[in-house]
Homo-oligomer: A and B are copies of this chain.
Amino acid sequence: MYICSMSNSKLYKGSLTTIILKLLNQHDKMYGYEITQKVKVLTNGELNITEGALYPALHKLEAEGFLDVQIMRVGNRLRKYYKLTETGAQETVNKLDELAEYIKTMQTLVNPKLA
């Protein structure tokens, strides 16, 4: 199967790690496919994360020490459950702060009357 693009908007570029970290912050442990489905539901189909974006991002977060992995068998299929490490929890806070700052800055630029 092929999952269509994250969004036609280029603005999502750079947001994927923030999304992953925040979801893991809320749901304790999740596996990749579960993350794509959760995001699809939460955004009413607006945002579809592709495997080509997701799995490399998860592997990178793991390599950086922000995620721990636990492999589980469900029937004959594998699931790789990811969980935040302590530094991963701290990184989540940082990323959410960056997102809030980004939104504030962009709103200032785009709607200077409200600034």
A residues apposed to B, CB below 8 Å: 7, 9-15, 18-19, 22-23, 26, 39, 42-43, 46-47, 96, 98-99, 101-103, 105-110, 112, 115
Of B22, B102, B108, the residue contacting A9 (CB under 8 A) is B102
Nearest chain-B residue to A47 (Cβ)? B105
CB pair A11–B9 under 8 Å, yes or no, is: no
With a cutoff of 8 Å between Cβ atoms, the chain B residues found around residue A108 in the complex are 42-43
Given contacts A22-B110, A109-B19, A109-B22, contact A99 B42 (CB under 8 A): no
Report chain B residues within 8 Å CB of A26: 112
B contact residues around A10 at 8 Å (CB): 14
